[in-house]
Amino acid sequence: MLHYISPAPLTFDTIDRILKEHLQLALSEESKKLICDCKNYLDQKIAASGKPLYGITTGFGSLCKINISPKDLSQLQANLVMSHACSIGTPIEPVIVKLMLLLKAHALSLGKSGVQLATVERIIDMFNHDVLPVVRELGSLGASGDLAPLANLFLPLINEGEVYYKGEIRPAAEVNAELNWSPVTLGAKEGLALLNGTQFMSSHAVYALLKAFNLIKYADIIGAISLDAYDGRIDPFLPQIHAARPHPGQIETARNIRTLLKGSEFQKKDKTRVQDPYSFRCMPQVHGASKDTIMYVASVVEREINSVTDNPTIFMEDDMIISGGNFHGEPLAMVLDFLSIAVAELGSISERRTYRLISGDRGNIPEFLVANPGLNSGFMIPQYAAAAIVSQNKQLCTPCCVDSIPSSNEQEDHVSMGGNAATKTIKVIKNTERILAIELMNAAQAIDLQRPLKTSPYLEDFLEEFRKIVPFNQSDRVMYKDIDAATNFLKYGDFKNFEE
Give the catalytic positions in this structure: 54
The string of DSSP letters for 415-454 reads ---HHHHHHHHHHHHHHHHHHHHHHHHHHHHHHHTTTT--
Sign of CA dihedral 266, 267, 272, 273: positive
Nearest CA to 247 among 291, 311, 309?
A: 291
SS3 content of the chain, % helix, strand, coil (to 5): 60, 10, 35
The string of DSSP letters for 464-477 reads HHHHTTS---SS--
Determine the Cα–Cα distance for residues 283 and 289; give it in Å rounded to an integer.
10
Determine the Cα–Cα distance for residues 469 and 493; give it in Å rounded to an integer.
11
Determine the Cα–Cα distance for residues 401 and 420; give it in Å rounded to an integer.
9
| β partners of residue 164 | 132, 169
Residue 258's H or E segment, with its range, is helix 248-260
Nearest CA to 290 among 177, 423, 174, 393?
A: 393
Burial (CB count within 10 angstroms: exposed 0-12, middle 13-18, buried 19+), residue 478: exposed
Helix and strand totals (H; E) in the chain: 18, 9
Dihedral of the alpha carbons of 130, 124, 176, 99, in degrees to the nearest 10: -40
